[in-house]
Amino acid sequence: MHSIPYGRQHITEQDIAAVVEALHADYLTQGPRIAEFEAKFATYVGTQYAIAVSNGTAALHLCTLALEVAPGHKVITTPITFAASANCVRYCGGEVVFADIDPDTYLLDIDSVRQLLQTSPKGTYQGIIPVDFAGRAVDLETFRQLADEYGLWLIEDACHAPGGYFEDGQGVRQYCGNGRFADLAIFSFHPVKHIACGEGGMITTNDEQLYHKLLRLRTHGISREVGSFQNSPAFAAAAPHAEIYPGWYMEMQNLGFNYRLTDFQAALGTSQLTRADEGLVKRRRIATKYAEAFSGKPFIKGQSGIVEGHAYHLYVIEVENRIGLYDFLREHGIFAQVHYIPCHLMPYYRQFGWKEGDFPYAELYYQKCLSLPMYPTLSEQEQEFVIQIILDYYDRINSRNIHIPIL
């Protein structure tokens, strides 16, 4: 049998045709396919504005720039996430403050966040970056209430959750990245994520001002909008009596970056987006099969069973003897993965004083977590093989009378 990764992209002939068509077009970058992808993605997640960028990390960086994170600012996030969720604060010189996770959902624990806020003078913190970890939507309605109480902004890291949702207090589905509660949300189009562009990312928002600011920051901080110009038309035209700006004129008004996506990547993203819902259905089917196979097995704990609105970027289990299972799976060509090594214990973050014992639930989770193969093209037969190998592993251990404590 060929090897089975924990996640992988699904590229169809239709996707390839879309990219080829884009390569034949007039614009390889800064062309019409960017706006098309943005508009379709905004509709998909139910938001007003979308800004396509070169990757998810660039999306996070532009968000912290647009929200004017600066030295002395403190921003709260979860230690169980990809490092970029925290790093974006550091790019702007801000301070990352971690808070523990909820041991059942694996998401940033709102009570831990509330405690941080309650035990510091008002104005200590500027923002919160909750993460829809593994594809499970954060209850942003509650986070918004808390953020409003303390005057904080919210960036939703929705990299794992396009198409995911939670139900708000009125029972209304709130899709990840819809901008209803968070000021800004971000997505990644890395091949292991739901929608693959190779590299790529998106920012979504309902805030028109932030939208225009983000557009500028994506392209060097350059504005081409006449209404925004700060220099005079006379200067711009280099003609003392000129009253209108010449066609070539533009202004660099902020220190921005080149974080653009190319048109052929956008074409791939747009094509992938047409199959996003189909992919979600398959992911949910795979999750259900795992949950059924492991139900009643005391040595495996999941992310609280099957949850409505979960986008299942990852299927995470917690097990005893994780290293043994990981190696046994590898021997059988199954490449499970660990998401994530707690951010606060990365050498880079330890230098700020974070240490073992700071976040007991996140650290306990790290001792046991394992992400199983989860992607739309994982066949039923392959998944059954994965399940079989896992159950075999624990049968072997049990028959050798190795004690596996009940979680």
Ligand X SMILES: *Cc1c(COP(=O)(O)O)cnc(C)c1O
Active site residues: 193
* Nearest one of 334, 343, 259 to 8, comparing CA atoms: 334
**CA distances, 212 to each of 39, 221, 248, 263, 276 (Å):** 15, 11, 20, 20, 28
Q: Is 291 in the site for ligand X (CB under 6 A)?
A: no
* Part in contact with ligand X (CB under 6 A); list of ranges 1-9, 55-63, 262-270, 274-282: 55-63
d(CA 385, CA 57): 35
Query: Residue 137: exposed, middle, or buried by beta-carbon count in 10 A (0-12, 13-18, 19+)?
Result: buried
CB of residue 366 vs ligand X: minimum separation in angstroms?
A: 16
The binder of ligand X chosen from 47, 55, 78, 206 (CB under 6 A): 55
* Part in contact with ligand X (CB under 6 A); list of ranges 153-161, 210-218, 231-239, 287-295: 153-161
**The dihedral of CA 51, 54, 55, 58: what is its sign?**
negative
Which one-letter amino acid corresponds to residue 44?
A: Y
Q: Is 206 in the site for ligand X (CB under 6 A)?
A: no
The binder of ligand X chosen from 33, 90, 190, 218 (CB under 6 A): 190
Nearest residue to ligand X, by Cβ distance, number only? 56
CB of residue 91 vs ligand X: minimum separation in angstroms?
A: 12
CB of residue 337 vs ligand X: minimum separation in angstroms?
A: 12
The residue count for binding ligand X (CB under 6 A) is 14
Helices 380-399, 276-294: crossing angle, 10 deg rounding: 20
* Part in contact with ligand X (CB under 6 A); list of ranges 143-151, 155-163, 257-265, 342-350: 155-163
- Enter the DSSP assignment of 277: H
- 174: helix, coil or strand? strand
Residue placing its CB nearer to ligand X in the complex, 57 or 178: 57
Q: Is 84 in the site for ligand X (CB under 6 A)?
A: yes
Binding site for ligand X (CB under 6 A): 55-57, 81-82, 84-85, 131, 157, 159-160, 188, 190, 201
